[in-house]
Chains A and B, each alone.
Chain A
């Protein structure tokens, strides 16, 4: 078989290759593709298998072992020794593999376009998974520092990179998520105030409605009262509203910026000053960092502490909600309170170590010192991108979002929110399908389900509470191509038109998935919900009513 040389390729083909990344016209014209999920009608693993089948067997203990100790039963107290084997399935290994392979195939996930807003969908390099498997899977957290020099160096270097990106003085990677980063802050804040004798006086944490729910939640867990500022006309509260809320009771300000709507509060430095003047600390949740990497730095703006999501902004796979890792950074004065241990570097000995002797530390939010594979992959991400690439990623994220905005401009029934802010949005924009719902009865939930029929992942709507009708929040990020953004917009346009022509088609979506539309409402009823197969069997026996 001969391969034509480049010169022999037809001209048209070459032209197409030059402009499109898989953007051949779909069967119905345009670039939206036909899609249908695999339908395996896959049973539950709990129903599978037959008596005697095994997915794995274990050796018997060596004869010398048994000669020495007798049998296991001699060491298990009668009072708690298990008599009956657990009612787990008996399935041969190939069928376990097939079963979970089928479940993978019945998952659209991020195998195609996904512009899930507020989560920054990003490519997870295959190389990283190999590195993790080869080098990290067999590390024990209590190994001597001497045996962890490579991993400690990576963590130490990443700390330095994050200092550069944020302006902060020191980072901890112990938090197991962004939410736990926020919890580190509220824990640290408590200790800081205690040391200054102000804990009884400063009882309030100020946040905004368009800051993530984890900020007020972790403030509450740490025993603070939460003051939530309501949105002003530009979606961020007015500075006057902040001034009115801040007092000698203020312990801290905890906010995101830009907010969930893609709007940046331009007065944020003034806010920080107001809170500092009142004696409070300021925490910057940089969950939306993809829009400002190398563009603006938390410490320069005045914040005392900030956090970054290694599973979001720094190229780690999402895992369908984790494993995750938060990088919590702060300025020098607060370093003593950071969770234990911290990575230290002794330049004279060229030696890295974990420092556990930190008497003022808040202690621990999670066992051990961090989700190391995520720390390693974040390091790889920074080294792969370099300063120029990181800034370009922000540029492309903001540009991609604005490009999507232009494509969605005249989609019927769709409106951009906070229209009085006329400046370009950051990395995401909140829209409302309110008008379309009024006109057709088709909701944002219907539309996101219908979107999956085109092989495009459902979109994020909005955090609670919904302040706009039928919200929708896309975020293209830097990974999606220009053509992907066009396809996404085209799919939404097609669905909106369909909503006006044939609303039932959208309301009964999805039509091309492994299963039909799921009934979510019934499982709020304690008699109907079943979190396990045994509960399901108990409530419904073999036959569903």
Chain B
């Protein structure tokens, strides 16, 4: 029986029987002659009856209506996935079927898409002031994990220093790339303390821990806890003096108002591109790896790399994967390749490219200044409430730590109250960072108006002073 399913043009009796007769089979069972009977599934699949599109749209729409969103609530959660404004142009472009549904293709037939990828790398390269930018990896933590192993291959060493202020999520991902390996390739991750007043890396602790065994010093700016790292230059110097690589993790949306870590000596820069035109999607992740355009670094990338090149017509430019690099990846060398690579988040790099084109030369500064001003406004107003303290100030971009230790209610109770007011309070830090008191990480971006912040402050005041 044919289902006539609208996505399967051959699901008709006519097409099926014509093809069966062409291949000389009397029924579809004969098609599976390679599979022995004992390996066949002969039961009934316990799946629900199929629905038509109109039924499905109502059914799935109805289920998803049961979620609450950051559109119907006022959201102050960040912590690795942030609510930034996504220009609708980003959506329009990546919904184009040419981009949405393609696979690899050829460099000529998919010229436009490859050029869009190149423009992602090119524009991110300008923000980072780096000449080599790889095609995307899965997430920030994934990028940091890969970079750490690049450093290991570059130095032959096995210790990696990371800040104690790192996101536990990210650290867990990085650990998967370190502790799993055996013998000489097993990396150890050690944490470096942060200054409890400023949140910046404790440089004395760094100096003490950094040694001739250190493969890489990894730091972040802004850190998971929001702090802008002003000691970037010193961190890189300490790493380099010990013969280690310096890897920096960065949120690229800050780079209109903050220097790229590369200008302060970082050798490899990693991060996420989710803030650059990608919706949160309940945890969208996208990572990048960039470095100077030096062969010793480039050959260690685990990602595919794309380059601009010539075509057979003089003066014309085309774009292609670098063949040797493709070969050096696990696609070519299997277990001997650099780490592992596969399908990643390439579509989103096109949204990133569009986003960076829209903001252009001046947009990142304007956006950055707006975010800094509004987030500091929120922090200052919150810290004016009795019993509420903003920790690790004064230098942060969009996220800051709010400590309710001295308040009559807990951070969790504050969130419950906010929730009832249609506000998603900050991500609780109590379990992850007990030294910060009873704290939550708040995020304020360009989508939050003064009125939004005032509403938050009023609601917090109400519960704390009640």
Establish whether residues A226 and B334, one from each chain, have CB atoms under 8 Å apart when the complex forms: yes
Establish whether residues B345 and A319, one from each chain, have CB atoms under 8 Å apart when the complex forms: yes
Question: Chain B residue with minimal CB distance to A211?
Answer: B334
Q: Identify 19 new A-B residue pairs, CB closer than 8 A, beyond the known A221-B181, A532-B118.
A: A44-B317, A45-B357, A57-B363, A72-B376, A88-B360, A91-B357, A97-B89, A100-B93, A142-B81, A147-B424, A176-B345, A178-B342, A203-B182, A221-B339, A322-B343, A371-B281, A402-B31, A515-B313, A518-B319
Residue B202 at the chain A interface, CB threshold 8 Å: no
Q: Give the distance in Å from the alpha carbon of A119 to the alpha carbon of B342 in the complex.
A: 12
Establish whether residues A478 and B10, one from each chain, have CB atoms under 8 Å apart when the complex forms: yes
Question: Chain A residue with minimal CB distance to B182?
Answer: A223
Which of these binds chain A: B49-57, B207-215, B401-409? B49-57
Establish whether residues B109 and A457, one from each chain, have CB atoms under 8 Å apart when the complex forms: yes
User: Measured between C-beta atoms, what is the minimum distance from A360 to chain B in Å?
Assistant: 14
Residue B8 at the chain A interface, CB threshold 8 Å: yes
Residues of chain B contacted by A421 (CB below 8 angstroms): 34
Establish whether residues A143 and B68, one from each chain, have CB atoms under 8 Å apart when the complex forms: yes
Establish whether residues B23 and A403, one from each chain, have CB atoms under 8 Å apart when the complex forms: yes
Establish whether residues B367 and A151, one from each chain, have CB atoms under 8 Å apart when the complex forms: no
Establish whether residues B340 and A138, one from each chain, have CB atoms under 8 Å apart when the complex forms: no
Q: Mark B106-149, 1 if CB is under 8 A from A, else 0.
A: 11111111011011011111110111111010111110000000
Question: Restricting to A377-416, which residues have a CB under 8 Å from any CB of B?
Answer: 379-380, 382-393, 395-396, 398-400, 402-403, 405-406
User: Measured between C-beta atoms, what is the minimum distance from A396 to chain B in Å?
Assistant: 5
- The answer to whether residues A82 and B183 also contact, given A164-B47, A322-B345 and a CB cut-off of 8 A, is no
Establish whether residues B232 and A108, one from each chain, have CB atoms under 8 Å apart when the complex forms: no
Q: Give the distance in Å from the alpha carbon of A460 to the alpha carbon of B305 in the complex.
A: 19
9 closest A-B pairs by CB: A109-B102, A386-B50, A368-B283, A179-B342, A106-B112, A319-B347, A141-B283, A217-B330, A55-B358
Question: Restricting to B26-47, which residues have a CB under 8 Å from any CB of A?
Answer: 28, 30-36, 38-41, 44-47
Q: Mark B331-345, 1 if CB is under 8 A from A, else 0.
A: 111111101111111
Residues of chain B contacted by A463 (CB below 8 angstroms): 331
Among the listed B2, B75, B186, B396, which residue makes an inter-chain contact with A75, where contact means beta carbons less than 8 Å apart?
B396
Residue B377 at the chain A interface, CB threshold 8 Å: yes
Question: Restricting to B287-335, which residues have a CB under 8 Å from any CB of A?
Answer: 293, 295, 298, 305-313, 315-325, 327, 330-335
User: Measured between C-beta atoms, what is the minimum distance from B240 to chain A in Å?
Assistant: 17
- The answer to whether residues A400 and B109 also contact, given A97-B89, A136-B64 and a CB cut-off of 8 A, is no
Among the listed B81, B122, B336, B347, which residue makes an inter-chain contact with A46, where contact means beta carbons less than 8 Å apart?
B122
Q: Give the distance in Å from the alpha carbon of A119 to the alpha carbon of B373 in the complex.
A: 48
Q: Give the distance in Å from the alpha carbon of A524 to the alpha carbon of B49 in the complex.
A: 53
Interface centre among B98, B320, B449 (most CB of A within 10 A): B98
Establish whether residues B141 and A366, one from each chain, have CB atoms under 8 Å apart when the complex forms: yes
Question: Restricting to A132-163, which residues have a CB under 8 Å from any CB of B?
Answer: 132-144, 147-151, 153-154, 161
Residue B459 at the chain A interface, CB threshold 8 Å: no
Establish whether residues A54 and B47, one from each chain, have CB atoms under 8 Å apart when the complex forms: no
> A interface, how many residues as a size bin?
35 or more
Among the listed A55, A138, A480, which residue makes an inter-chain contact with B70, where contact means beta carbons less than 8 Å apart?
A138
Residue A33 at the chain B interface, CB threshold 8 Å: no
Which of these binds chain B: A240-248, A288-296, A428-436? A288-296
Residue A29 at the chain B interface, CB threshold 8 Å: no
Residue B192 at the chain A interface, CB threshold 8 Å: no
Question: Chain A residue with minimal CB distance to B299?
Answer: A526
Question: Chain A residue with minimal CB distance to B342?
Answer: A179
Establish whether residues A301 and B39, one from each chain, have CB atoms under 8 Å apart when the complex forms: yes
Residues of chain A contacted by B306 (CB below 8 angstroms): 531
Question: Chain A residue with minimal CB distance to B293?
Answer: A535
Residue B419 at the chain A interface, CB threshold 8 Å: yes
Establish whether residues B108 and A516, one from each chain, have CB atoms under 8 Å apart when the complex forms: yes
Q: Give the distance in Å from the alpha carbon of A86 to the alpha carbon of B124 in the complex.
A: 10
Residue A487 at the chain B interface, CB threshold 8 Å: no
26 residue pairs of the A-B complex, CB under 8 angstroms, read A57-B363, A65-B374, A80-B221, A82-B260, A88-B361, A108-B109, A139-B283, A203-B182, A217-B335, A217-B339, A221-B177, A223-B182, A269-B38, A320-B113, A364-B176, A371-B281, A376-B64, A386-B51, A389-B5, A393-B8, A396-B11, A399-B25, A452-B106, A458-B104, A519-B309, A533-B308
Interface centre among B59, B67, B356 (most CB of A within 10 A): B67
Q: Give the distance in Å from the alpha carbon of A54 to the alpha carbon of B138 in the complex.
A: 31
Q: Give the distance in Å from the alpha carbon of A315 to the alpha carbon of B230 in the complex.
A: 47
Interface centre among B50, B130, B176, B419 (most CB of A within 10 A): B176
- The answer to whether residues A44 and B122 also contact, given A269-B38, A322-B343 and a CB cut-off of 8 A, is yes
Establish whether residues A379 and B280, one from each chain, have CB atoms under 8 Å apart when the complex forms: no
Establish whether residues A514 and B112, one from each chain, have CB atoms under 8 Å apart when the complex forms: yes
Residue B442 at the chain A interface, CB threshold 8 Å: no
Establish whether residues A519 and B311, one from each chain, have CB atoms under 8 Å apart when the complex forms: yes
Among the listed B133, B282, B334, which residue makes an inter-chain contact with A136, where contact means beta carbons less than 8 Å apart?
B282
Residues of chain A contacted by B427 (CB below 8 angstroms): 142
- The answer to whether residues A125 and B53 also contact, given A109-B105, A367-B141, A367-B170 and a CB cut-off of 8 A, is yes
Q: Give the distance in Å from the alpha carbon of A100 to the alpha carbon of B23 in the complex.
A: 44
Question: Restricting to B221-262, which residues have a CB under 8 Å from any CB of A?
Answer: 221, 228-233, 255-260
Question: Chain A residue with minimal CB distance to B365?
Answer: A85
Interface centre among B33, B279, B307, B320 (most CB of A within 10 A): B307
Q: Mark A258-297, 1 if CB is under 8 A from B, else 0.
A: 1000011010110000000000000000000000101111
Among the listed A104, A150, A368, which residue makes an inter-chain contact with B67, where contact means beta carbons less than 8 Å apart?
A150
Establish whether residues A139 and B69, one from each chain, have CB atoms under 8 Å apart when the complex forms: yes
Among the listed B316, B339, B363, B446, which residue makes an inter-chain contact with A516, where contact means beta carbons less than 8 Å apart?
B316
Establish whether residues A395 and B28, one from each chain, have CB atoms under 8 Å apart when the complex forms: yes
- The answer to whether residues A395 and B31 also contact, given A75-B394, A80-B258, A424-B25 and a CB cut-off of 8 A, is yes
